Amino acid sequence: MIADLKKLIQKHWGFATFRPLQEDAMRAVLEGRDSVLVLPTGGGKSLCFQAPAVLRGGTTVVISPLIALMKDQVDGLQSCGVPAIQLDSSLSPAERFSYEQDVRDGAIRLLFVSPERLMMAEFQNLCRQIDVKTFAIDEAHCISHWGHDFRPEYRMLSRIKEIFPGANVHAYTATATEQVRADICKQLALTNPLVLVGNFDRPNLTYRVLRRGDVDKQVREVLERRKGESGIIYCLRRRDVDDMAATVKGWGYKAMAYHAGMEGDERRRVQEAFINEESDIIVATIAFGMGIDRSNIRFVLHTSMPKSVEHYQQETGRAGRDGLEAECVLLHSGQDFLTWKAILQKSAMENEVADDFLPNALRHAEDMDRYARGAVCRHKALVNYFGQKYEEPSCAACDLCLGDVEKVEDALVVAQKILSCVARVNERYGVNHVISVLRGEDTERVRQLQHDQLTTFGLLKEHAKTTVRDWIFQLIGQGFLMKSEDEYPVLKLNFASWEVMKGKQTKVQLLQPARKERTERVKRSHADESSWEGVDRDLADALRKWRFELAKQTGKPPYIIFSDATLRELARIRPSTPAKLLLVYGIGTRKIEDFGESLLACITDYCAEHDVPMDVVADAPPPPPKPAKTAAITPSRALAIKLFSEGAAIEDVAEQTGRARTTVTEYLCEYIQRDKPASVAMWVAPAIYNRVAAAVEEHGGARLKPLFIALEEKVPYDDIRIVVAHLNKK
């Protein structure tokens, strides 16, 4: 079954190996077991229900929240040779009749619909006629009222099991805390579901949080270092969107506005322009993004704070879906939380919501505010928020780890001054008043309360108000200070506060913007620098132009033809034949049939004109920073490594851990790299080891696909991976 899946995926999608958790997720679909899969954006969730649908036959119904999102997936599947359609309100009666007939004839593997259409009696009858057994729910966090996009229509999906007894249901999402995952299982009435949670880290993304100042200037600085690249600028209000879009267009960029106040046809026109790369930049409210699967978005810029960490993870997740470097910039102000508080309170008053809506929504906004003010590595903070551990000493891909900010040398003394001031005002006042006292502000309120007579008055007078505010919230984020949840919140001390004031707790860290010359270049992340290594940039540009022209001819979005990651690999290797094209990530036989001749002509002409060699044998570029290590919270991983250290066979470890062979092989490679055993003969026969080692000597070991083909496709990928891991440890 798994071997057949691999062949099918290679043929249609051009991928040679599974990504983490994909094999387990696909096995659950093929075995008819309910499941929940949480993988970060770009982690390969969609393939987990698409590939099994093609292998097994029949029709899988996919429930998706947006027409644009459905169209994007259908276009991608059709370009790979997979029969897929969507039924939505944009179809004419004749088109809908024709599509439904294709479904009845058994010609469709994947049928995409909205949750509203699924609840229509007519559509349910169609499903019964073809005996649908599998339902896949995309953006499944919308089901949960704990989630960050509460959508009433999604709650109706709880009836699937009732309407279609015996059907299996699979939920897919990029962001879900443990609480949300439990709620998804409950709402969908899943039966003994397999719950798979991937690594939440996105190492190819560089996160930066800047204190909001001159917004136009800050936005322009990002655009100038990302010239020629695509991006999304998020604004809080519709009027902000319109103003910013006009400003960006005035700077000479191809920018368009998008928000819910626009007519539906206009919104669709904007989305299509962005998808087809006719527009580089979209300025939008949070209504934009979920329906966009464009893989080569290189930056996401928030001009104000999103209302939750889940929103932030989803919206920044639009960037770098192709695995290449991308930048996420958040402009933040202390006013952002108060703005969201007012918006949420108004929404709660005007709409019928659950009693726990407002407290939960405010807590989410506070979590986001705490993240923005935090003094902890951004990657670590996000991974920790979703219940995982990040053990790398530096991500090398955020403002804190890249040195955009610097540590306050006397952080302990500064913290003691702030906490002492809170104590001196008897824990009865909020952030603004404490700042006024610390900065020695001569205001009527300070004088009236006689707080100008306190020993803490003016202790931080040399620092700006925004700086002191940031320090206060950094102390809150580190647990050394609290803020009450009253209508008028005040600062409160806790046990840790007193430990700091007594000097017993010294692990206080405060940050401030680094002192830089204006001309200093913004540091690039490791992923940013390494992803271009060995790539002929001029050829990459030529390939992008070729792709754009082909997209116009075929009516397909450019990134669906080939991703930027594939174009860079083509510009690195410069293949000369269809067989060589098959070595490239993301190119399957269907893509070669459709575009191979034209693609090879483009590469050959360029190489001849510029006198550069073709069929370059080179290792892949250095990998981006490692994702967060989650071994400490994965019992199966720890058990597997222990068993391998005792000499257990792969099949035995798979049985004892309940994990798929591919997953267990990953654990074995970790064990090999960690413990460096002298031999791997327990898991790979010596004759096969020698064959793989010889292939590695000739082709290098950074990419497995060329090795697989060089070995006449007779040595399993798992064996190749084990040998390469052992050779690397040497």
Phi-psi region of 586 (alpha: psi -120 to 50; beta: other; left: phi over 0): left
Q: Is residue 300 part of a domain?
A: yes
- Which has the higher per-residue pLDDT, 475 or 287? 475
pLDDT, tens digit, for every residue of 166-193? 899 999 988 787 888 888 999 898 999 9
- Shared domain for 156 and 256, answered yes or no, is no
* Residue ranges making up the domain that contains 666: 634-729
User: Comparing C-alpha atoms, which of 714, 716, 728, 729 is closest to residue 650?
Assistant: 716
- Shared domain for 504 and 414, answered yes or no, is yes
Lowest mean pLDDT among 283-292, 308-317, 473-482: 283-292
pLDDT at 622: 41
Q: What is the mean pLDDT of residues 135-140?
A: 91
Question: The domain that contains 252 carries what CATH number?
Answer: 3.40.50.300
- Shared domain for 482 and 590, answered yes or no, is no
Q: How far apart are CA 340 and CA 334, in angstroms?
A: 11
Q: How far apart are CA 720 and CA 6, in angstroms?
A: 15
- Go through the chain and tell me how many residues it has: 730
Mean pLDDT of the chain: 85
- Shared domain for 473 and 576, answered yes or no, is no
Q: What is the mean pLDDT of residues 141-151?
A: 66
Band the pLDDT of 716: cuts 50, 70, 90: confident
Angle (CA) 665 669 675, round 5°: 135
- Shared domain for 285 and 314, answered yes or no, is yes
Question: The domain that contains 454 carries what CATH number?
Answer: 1.10.10.10
Task: Choose the final residue of a domain: 197, 230, 262.
Answer: 197
SS3 205: strand
- Shared domain for 103 and 135, answered yes or no, is yes
- Shared domain for 564 and 685, answered yes or no, is no
pLDDT at 627: 40
Q: How far apart are CA 337 and CA 370, in angstroms?
A: 10
User: Comparing C-alpha atoms, which of 497, 522, 465 is closest to residue 334?
Assistant: 465
Q: Is residue 619 part of a domain?
A: no
Say if residue 331's pLDDT is above 90: yes
Q: Is residue 22 part of a domain?
A: yes
Say if residue 594's pLDDT is above 60: yes
Specify whether the CB–CB gap between 136 and 60 falls below 8 A.
yes
Specify whether the CB–CB gap between 672 and 726 falls below 8 A.
yes
Distance, C-alpha 474 to centroid of its chain:
26
465 Cβ partners below 8 Å, 6+ apart? 435, 439
Question: The domain that contains 649 carries what CATH number?
Answer: 1.10.10
- Shared domain for 157 and 212, answered yes or no, is no
pLDDT at 164: 92
Lowest mean pLDDT among 318-322, 465-469, 520-524: 520-524
Q: What is the mean pLDDT of residues 590-610?
A: 92
pLDDT at 147: 57
Q: Is residue 668 part of a domain?
A: yes
pLDDT, tens digit, for every residue of 68-107? 778 878 888 888 889 999 998 888 889 999 999 999 999 9
Lowest mean pLDDT among 487-491, 721-725, 726-730: 726-730
Sign of CA dihedral 603, 609, 615, 621: negative
pLDDT at 463: 92
> Residue 26: what residue type?
M
According to DSSP, the β-strands at 482-483 and 491-492 are: antiparallel
- Shared domain for 110 and 163, answered yes or no, is yes
Q: How far apart are CA 2 and CA 41, in angstroms?
A: 24
Q: How far apart are CA 642 and CA 608, in angstroms?
A: 54
Specify whether the CB–CB gap between 305 and 336 falls below 8 A.
yes
Say if residue 631's pLDDT is above 50: no
Virtual CA dihedral for 546, 547, 552, 553, nearest 10 degrees? 70
Q: How far apart are CA 697 and CA 689, in angstroms?
A: 12
Q: What is the mean pLDDT of residues 634-659?
A: 83
Specify whether the CB–CB gap between 18 and 43 falls below 8 A.
no
Say if residue 157's pLDDT is above 90: no
166 Cβ partners below 8 Å, 6+ apart? 133
- Shared domain for 466 and 572, answered yes or no, is no
Specify whether the CB–CB gap between 559 and 296 falls below 8 A.
yes
pLDDT, tens digit, for every residue of 514-543? 665 433 445 555 555 567 778 899 999 999
Specify whether the CB–CB gap between 592 and 564 falls below 8 A.
no
Q: How far apart are CA 654 and CA 685, in angstroms?
A: 19
- Shared domain for 8 and 145, answered yes or no, is yes
Task: Choose the final residue of a domain: 197, 218, 245.
Answer: 197
Strand order in the sheet with 230-234: 205-211, 326-332, 297-302, 230-234, 281-284, 255-258
Q: Is residue 625 part of a domain?
A: no
Lowest mean pLDDT among 23-27, 294-298, 420-424: 294-298
pLDDT, tens digit, for every residue of 380-404? 999 888 888 887 888 889 988 888 8
Token pair listed for 693: 């080692």
Give the CA distances from residue 200 to residues 182, 184, 665, in Å, rounded to whole numbers and listed in that order. Answer: 17, 18, 21
pLDDT at 520: 44
Say if residue 125's pLDDT is above 70: yes
- Shared domain for 276 and 176, answered yes or no, is no
Q: How far apart are CA 504 and CA 490, in angstroms?
A: 25
pLDDT, tens digit, for every residue of 47-74? 999 999 999 889 999 998 877 778 878 8
* First-to-last C-alpha distance (Å) of the chain: 34
Q: Is residue 626 part of a domain?
A: no
Lowest mean pLDDT among 241-250, 324-333, 359-368, 435-444: 359-368
Provide the domain count of the chain.
5
Give the CA distances from residue 478 to residues 9, 245, 472, 661, in Å, rounded to whole numbers and listed in that order. Answer: 46, 37, 10, 41
Q: Is residue 380 part of a domain?
A: yes
Q: Is residue 566 part of a domain?
A: yes
616 Cβ partners below 8 Å, 6+ apart? 534, 572, 573, 574
Task: Choose the final residue of a domain: 384, 404, 424.
Answer: 404
